[in-house]
Amino acid sequence: MKKKLIVAVAAVLVLANGASVAFAESHSGSGSTTTSTTIAGGSQNTKLTDTQKVAYKAEHDVYRAKLEVIKTTFKTALSDAEKAFTAALVSGTPDAVSAASAFRTAGVAALQNYQDSLIALGSPPVKPEFSKEQKAILKAKRVVIMEAFRVAMKSAKDTYKKELAATDVTKKAAKSTFKAAVRKATQEKTDALKALGLKS
């Protein structure tokens, strides 16, 4: 009799845990596909702002923290119910049938509370992303920046060659002018890419 009760209790635990995992995955974003929010603003808004990044991370952290509390509460409730059931079997008070019934009731209540909590929590926050049009705009702007850098570098090299050929400019001065032009072009490229949220 006791063995059958233990098997029945184990079945309740497996059912509760299995259902909770499936339910959690459908509400936590784990193992499921979420639709990202498209950033509006056209050509004037081609990157996530620092404010958007911070806001998303904060929302995501809060969501994960709440989800962990819900999971921990559920696991604790099941663990407490299992301990109470085991203690009852050992002591014989209450009887095994009553103990199993109490455990089953506690397990079902814990699962119901878990599911209700997940529903109340809702879906995880959605990370903003660019639309295809905005990605194309961003790519086009990068091309323009890199072309401007190429032109600036070519101009610096051409100037360097002319100054080396000139009789009134020393090699040291020509080299200094060339290095300054390279630094300027490189910095302008870096700043322009950074303004778009891109790495140089």
The pair phi, psi for residue 61, each rounded to 5°, is -65, -40
Is 90 exceeded by the pLDDT of residue 18?
A: no
pLDDT value for 8? 52
Domain positions in the chain are 2-121, 132-195
pLDDT digits (tens, 9 = 90+) for 25-65: 454 444 444 444 444 443 344 456 677 788 899 999 999 99
The CA dihedral of 96, 102, 103, 104, to the nearest 10 degrees, is 110
> pLDDT value at position 139?
87
pLDDT digits (tens, 9 = 90+) for 71-95: 999 999 999 999 999 999 889 888 8
Query: Residue 38 phi/psi, 5° resolution?
Result: -85, 135
What is the percent of the chain where pLDDT is above 90?
48
How far is Cα 122 from Cα 110, in angstroms, rounded to an integer?
18
Q: Predicted confidence band at 186 (pLDDT cuts at 50, 70, 90)?
A: very high
Q: What average pLDDT does range 169-195 have in this prediction?
A: 92
Q: What is the pLDDT of residue 170?
A: 87
Return the pLDDT at 66. 96
- The torsion angles phi and psi of 129, rounded to 5 degrees, stand at -145, 165
Q: Are 114 and 107 in contact (CB under 8 A)?
A: no
Omega within 30 of 0 (cis) for the link into 125: no
Q: What's the pLDDT at 9?
A: 53
- For 168, the token pair is 């009134």
Is residue 19 scored above 60 in pLDDT?
no
User: Which residues neighbour 15 within 8 Å (Cβ) at sequence distance 6 or greater?
Assistant: none
